[in-house]
Amino acid sequence: MGRLSTTLCGIELDNPVIPASGTFGYGWEFARWYDINCLGTFSFKGTTREPRFGNPTPRIAECPAGMINAVGLQNPGVDRVIEEELPALRQVFHKKVMANVSGFSVEDYAYTCERLDKEEQVGWLEVNISCPNVHGGGMSFGTDPALAAEVTRAVKQVTKKPVLMKLSPNVTDITAIARACEEAGADGLSLINTLQGMRIDLKKRKPILANVMGGVSGPAVFPVALRMVYQVSRAVSIPVVGMGGVTTAEDVLEMLMAGACAVEVGAANLTDPFACKKIIQDLPFAMDRYHIESVSELKGGH
Amino acid sequence: MGRLSTTLCGIELDNPVIPASGTFGYGWEFARWYDINCLGTFSFKGTTREPRFGNPTPRIAECPAGMINAVGLQNPGVDRVIEEELPALRQVFHKKVMANVSGFSVEDYAYTCERLDKEEQVGWLEVNISCPNVHGGGMSFGTDPALAAEVTRAVKQVTKKPVLMKLSPNVTDITAIARACEEAGADGLSLINTLQGMRIDLKKRKPILANVMGGVSGPAVFPVALRMVYQVSRAVSIPVVGMGGVTTAEDVLEMLMAGACAVEVGAANLTDPFACKKIIQDLPFAMDRYHIESVSELKGGH
Amino acid sequence: MQQMILTIEENKPLAPNVYRLRLFGKGMEEQRPGQFINLLLPGRFLRRPISVYDWEEDRVTVVYKTVGHGTEQLAQMKPGEKLDTLTGLGNGYDLSKAGERPLLLGGGAGVPPMYLLARRLKEQGREVTAILGFNTREEVFAEEAFRALSCRVHVATADGSYGEKGFVTDVLPEEYSYVYACGPEPMLRAVHRSVKTSGQFSLEERMGCGFGACMGCSIQTASGPRRICREGPVFEKEEILWAD
Amino acid sequence: MQQMILTIEENKPLAPNVYRLRLFGKGMEEQRPGQFINLLLPGRFLRRPISVYDWEEDRVTVVYKTVGHGTEQLAQMKPGEKLDTLTGLGNGYDLSKAGERPLLLGGGAGVPPMYLLARRLKEQGREVTAILGFNTREEVFAEEAFRALSCRVHVATADGSYGEKGFVTDVLPEEYSYVYACGPEPMLRAVHRSVKTSGQFSLEERMGCGFGACMGCSIQTASGPRRICREGPVFEKEEILWAD
Ligand SMILES: Cc1cc2nc3c(=O)[nH]c(=O)nc-3n(C[C@H](O)[C@H](O)[C@H](O)COP(=O)(O)OP(=O)(O)OC[C@H]3O[C@@H](n4cnc5c(N)ncnc54)[C@H](O)[C@@H]3O)c2cc1C
Ligand SMILES: Cc1cc2nc3c(=O)[nH]c(=O)nc-3n(C[C@H](O)[C@H](O)[C@H](O)COP(=O)(O)OP(=O)(O)OC[C@H]3O[C@@H](n4cnc5c(N)ncnc54)[C@H](O)[C@@H]3O)c2cc1C
Ligand SMILES: Cc1cc2nc3c(=O)[nH]c(=O)nc-3n(C[C@H](O)[C@H](O)[C@H](O)COP(=O)(O)O)c2cc1C
Ligand SMILES: Cc1cc2nc3c(=O)[nH]c(=O)nc-3n(C[C@H](O)[C@H](O)[C@H](O)COP(=O)(O)O)c2cc1C
Ligand code: FES
Ligand code: FES
């Protein structure tokens, strides 16, 4: 085990840095710019049963120390991910990848996870439950402990790989959702997804995003994310992957100290395509600065 | 009615700019630096039945584009506010002030509001329901529609002045709380209070705040605040005071376009003691830039 | 794509609210016409995409209009200051389809990418006609630069205060082999309706990354979803499905 | 309190990680010993409070230690650059209580405020003894400046590599009329225990505003709650209630 290495649901990672879903495509494009095998792993773009174009544009707005996106889960659908994206990735990435899955019904989730479970390249399933439940009135799966547990159980039934449930921060008590997922069999938790927000175009006097609202991410959400990682990692005994605004090696260390065993990096990849590579390079120096011998020493160091 | 004027629960404001509770003390100190009669009004420091010292220090942490506070409602208690703070304020402020009230039980709220209702200087009661309900397991009054309605009803029974319920953003569905307050008789709503967050001191490997967690405010929360103001102003028919990260005259206009009839400014007063004065001075120029004739034209302009 | 810290060599007004910015960076790859660069401005979270106006060894020039806080901030910057920049983004125009007499149509902030395109087409010996559209006389820029390439140049102003009165579509020549266009969407739609040959149009959208990672800039095309920043910003006219 | 855009005239290292910063602003009010200024650094949300080291007409000097991102950023700034600053914050030391032979104790980043205090007390004809505490030889700064005021100066280093070995409390003189102290909390507690006269101590806390608006910096004192930024940072020794 190296100084940076950590373990996520039984799989060893060379380091705790993981590009977050939706900000790293299916990975192989980034491989034209650097050797992505330097990453702990990465979480690929949220994949659904059917192909999705997503929302109309504008899908992006800026906000102080962050951005808002309303991409709406654009992806080629699980068939093409398995037939095209994963084989392309195999050429450039030799580690297990994290498969991020979305759905609009419990069956959707189970179907897509079952398909991806069969792929050897996939190390973990990261199940994004922030999407609206189209059969249940549109309320997001991630805002109701019972629904979150239902998705967890359905997915666990059809997969053998570790399942990380990815939690929405737009809730009154994130620990209730976290515990419900744990009790339903989740192997780990990922948090946070984006905070719901919006901007208005002063010239046009109407919302910037065609979808009106979207998800805020970037440094602005860091203190909220850190708080939730801290709360959740104390409320459950399964591993927690922390994310939300992480931009520097020091942010990674702060997330680890809050209780995360690994850290995802989202929006930072968009403003700097080399962000994760740089963070990994900086980590040992930041650890020296704070007299941290190894990443594993921070785990539970609270 | 001037170009900047607006109305809040029947009381006319010269302009929509209101320093937010907790960032402007009891006002009279700021009067040493500028004539605070230029303000629409201001909301004074959250006042409780008994004097409170608040939380141990450190109470303040920095975060990207914002800050976290865990002051813990330090205030001299309602008796001294009436006996000392309001008389001192009367010397320098000739408008109605907004009385911000906190409590830890329904009785607390009612008692403090009843006392302040008798003060002629007080124009509005702004009831902060983000505090934990010490008699009800510590869950905040602002996270449960039934509790929020109970506080609203109790306060409305003992006051004749307009009552603004101040909502917490740390909830799954802020419109449910908003509607509960409206149905219970609230005359208006103020939002948002701070987002719960935290930071960790990397050198000490422990939370920066003695209270561990605190409330995030400043520009970082602006898109979340704007979204909630937009949602709530569509969900109720009583006036909404918008706040959260407002720093410039353009931010004020954006909040008004989202559905607010007036705007509070919090953290910005702390980094620039002249922030509100400057915003008011800048407003006409910003309005010219976006071809806005009068503040009132934006109301419901969505 | 390259990430570089570029140094401002020139940042000067060409017309009211329009600036020409020349950036230097040792080892910069060639920038092709129709490609764009993405500038990180201090204190802003997202980068600002701006089309390549010209390129010489180690130097890229762009022309931008101040329309908001980012571009206004950029206009305040001085020679010697540095900008974290992603260069070589987007597909660029396909010059092989130009034919003998390509027609280049630029409207307002859509004029700049036409310049390097015109230069390259002239280098290939084409007979280039450039039609530059503006609202009014004082907004006109880059006309002389196009003339210096010995293109045929028409300027149209909406109010008729300079050149011909009307839109670029009001001054289309009789004959041309192909069309390249960049400008506001209403202009591109009008061009789409008016021109008789095939062509390539450059599109814009609010971008999250500018290099294909976020799906922030996707459009539906006749061949399925495409990212403006990666498969675009240049699309074949026939591929574009205009939203209603 | 004044809000001013001050210009950096000097920003130079005095010791490893310790810098002296002189700021100029026409019309700056007099800064009193023990007061502080609050600097807004570009890109940081909260201001950074730093004690006044010296003041001359229109010029304030501070001495700061780089301990985090803000102070490190400040250390990079160059003469000519501007800083949005609030000046004249806090109560400052009450000089009227000094008596004939005041003792000034400064530890590390607590040394700077002692300088202007020493200067003012000397101007009033007092016999000033300054004890400056540091960890080690290379950290020592400002010793010469105090000597130039003709104070009696003792330097103590924790490792004995310079001056006397030990803490400031290990080198207290026999006789003194009053104590002024600034330094890390453990030092102040030790001083509290060791000195026999009355005195004034300067405290620090993370601040939201620095001018009394947020209640971020409150402490409990013998007379009730007080804000370090407003009723402090200087408190009478007898008023201070040390947390356990
Ligand atoms: C591929 C491409 C090429 C471009 N080339 C040019 C050019 O050569 N010259 C030129 O003047 N402009 C060009 N633009 C438009 C330019 O990017 C915007 O005018 C600029 O980003 C506005 O930034 P701002 O901070 O001033 O405005 P703000 O409105 O304050 O910006 C806020 C956010 O909105 C985005 N945004 C605002 N308007 C636009 C827009 N029209 N298109 C895309 N994003 C926008 C900004 O990038 C930023 O993220 C181009 C845009 C794209 C996508
Ligand atoms: C009244 C007063 C006078 C001071 N005088 C001096 C002085 O003369 N020389 C000097 O070197 N230092 C002084 N300090 C401490 C100085 O303010 C901090 O070292 C500085 O703010 C650290 O900023 P940073 O960005 O480098 O650290 P970071 O840790 O990155 O800062 C993050 C936040 O924490 C706050 N913070 C961090 N450490 C402290 C601290 N010890 N005290 C208060 N806030 C802190 C910062 O202000 C900022 O809000 C004084 C502090 C106070 C309250
Ligand atoms: C453009 C964009 C697209 C995203 N798409 C997904 C997605 O498909 N699935 C998912 O679980 N999260 C998605 N996210 C959320 C991120 O994975 C991450 O949880 C969030 O952005 C917080 O991290 P950050 O602040 O570092 O960006 C997306 C985020 C962004 C910015
Ligand atoms: C230091 C501080 C103290 C606060 N105290 C109170 C309070 O006593 N009562 C209250 O209702 N809100 C309080 N707030 C919340 C603000 O009034 C406001 O709702 C919040 O800060 C969001 O606005 P902003 O982003 O402009 O600061 C406080 C905020 C800060 C920063
Ligand atoms: S802007 Fe990110 S994919 Fe185009
Ligand atoms: S720092 Fe705000 S009151 Fe002292």
The rounded average pLDDT for each run of 10 residues, N- to C-terminus, in chain D (244 residues) is 97 96 97 98 97 97 96 97 98 95 95 97 95 95 94 94 91 93 94 93 97 96 96 95 82
Q: In the numeric block, which tokens belong to residue B116? A: 């302040």
Of A56, A60, A218, the CB nearest to C216: A60
The length of chain C is 244
- CB-CB contact of A214 with A194 (8 Å): yes
Closest ligand relative to C35 C-alpha = 1
Residue B302 has pLDDT above 60, yes or no: no
Question: Which parts of D148-191 are beta strand (E)?
Answer: 152-157, 164-165, 178-182
Looking at beta carbons, which residues of chain D come within 8 Å of B61?
206
- What stretch of H or E contains A241? strand A240-243
Q: How many CB atoms lie within 10 A of CB A32?
A: 12
Q: Side chain identity at A191, as an amino acid letter?
A: L
Looking at beta carbons, which residues of chain A come within 8 Å of C86?
273
Query: Distance between CA atoms of B206 and B199, rounded to whole angstroms?
Result: 9
Contacts 24+ apart (CB under 8 A), B250-253: B250/A202, B250/B286, B251/B222, B252/B16, B252/B17, B252/B279, B252/B283, B252/B286, B253/A202, B253/B283, B253/B286, B253/B287, B253/B290, B253/B292, B253/B298
Using DSSP, state whether D109 is helix, strand or coil: helix
Average predicted confidence (pLDDT) for chain B = 95
Closest C-alpha residue for ligand 4 atom 22:
B244
In order of their start, the domains of chain D are: 2-89 (2.40.30.10), 95-202 (3.40.50.80)
Closest CA to B32 of D1, D232, D35: D1
The domain limits of chain A are 6-297
Q: Which residue has the tokens 């009193």?
A: D32
Closest C-alpha residue for ligand 1 atom 35:
C206
Mutate to test the pocket of ligand 3, among A23, A104, A255 (most ligand atoms within 8 A of CB): A23
Q: What are phi and psi of D82, to 5 degrees?
A: -110, 150
A25–chain C Cβ distance below 8 A for any pair: yes
Residues of chain A short of pLDDT 70, as ranges, are 1, 133-134, 136-138, 300-302
- CB-CB contact of B223 with B244 (8 Å): no
Query: Distance between CA atoms of D233 and D244, rounded to whole angstroms?
Result: 20
Residue B188 has pLDDT above 90, yes or no: yes
Closest ligand relative to B199 C-alpha = 2
Better-predicted residue by pLDDT, B302 or C147? C147
Q: Return the residue of C nearest to A71 by Cα.
A: C216
Q: In the numeric block, which tokens belong to residue D60? A: 């304030």
Pairing of strands D48-51, A60-63: unpaired
- CB-CB contact of C211 with C86 (8 Å): yes
> What pLDDT, on the 0 to 100 scale, is given for residue A140?
87
Confidence of residue B1 (pLDDT cuts 50, 70, 90): low
CA of C152 to the centre of ligand 4 (A): 63
> Chain B: nearest CA to D216, how far in angstroms?
5
Query: Distance between CA atoms of A188 and B260, rounded to whole angstroms?
Result: 41
Q: In the numeric block, which tokens belong to residue D127? A: 């016999």
Looking at beta carbons, which residues of chain C come within 8 Å of A64?
45
- What stretch of H or E contains C48? strand C48-51
Residue C226 has pLDDT above 80, yes or no: yes
- CB-CB contact of B54 with B73 (8 Å): yes
Give the strands of the sheet with D234-236, arranged side by side.
D164-165, D152-157, D129-134, D102-107, D178-182, D199-202, D234-236
> What pLDDT, on the 0 to 100 scale, is given for residue B301?
44
Give first-to-last CA distance, chain A, whole Å. Answer: 22
* Highest mean pLDDT out of A134-148, B136-150, C108-122: C108-122
Give pLDDT tens digits for B109-136: 999 999 999 999 999 999 999 877 667 6
**Exactly one of B38, B63, B113, B131 is catalytic; which is it?**
B131
| CB atoms A219 and B65 under 8 Å | yes
| CB atoms A213 and B227 under 8 Å | yes
Looking at beta carbons, which residues of chain B come within 8 Å of A143?
172-173
Query: Distance between CA atoms of B150 and C110, rounded to whole angstroms?
Result: 59
Of B197, B203, B258, the CB nearest to A223: B197
Q: Give the pTM.
A: 0.97
> What pLDDT, on the 0 to 100 scale, is given for residue A139?
73
Query: Distance between CA atoms of B60 and B218, rounded to whole angstroms?
Result: 13
Pairing of strands B6-8, B11-13: antiparallel
Chain B: partners with 3+ C-beta pairs within 8 Å? A, D
Residue B131 falls in the annotated catalytic set: yes
Q: What are phi and psi of A105, to 5 degrees?
A: -155, 165
| CB atoms B22 and D3 under 8 Å | no
Q: Return the residue of C nearest to A214 by Cα.
A: C216
CATH class of A6-297: alpha beta
Q: Which residue has the tokens 């509100």?
A: B276
* DSSP conformation letters of A117-158: HT-TTEEEEEEE--SB-GGGTT-BGGG-HHHHHHHHHHHHHH
Rg, C-alpha atoms of chain B: 18
Ligand 4 atom nearest B245 alpha carbon: 25
Q: In the numeric block, which tokens belong to residue A204? A: 């046009």
- DSSP code of residue A168: P
Closest ligand relative to A58 C-alpha = 1
Give pLDDT tens digits for A146-197: 999 999 999 999 999 999 999 999 999 999 999 999 999 999 999 999 999 9
Pairing of strands C18-24, D48-51: unpaired
Distance set, CA D92 to CA B179, B273, D37, D53 (Å):
51, 21, 12, 12
Q: In the numeric block, which tokens belong to residue C183? A: 């400008």
Confidence of residue B139 (pLDDT cuts 50, 70, 90): confident
- The predicted model gives C79-90 an average pLDDT of 97
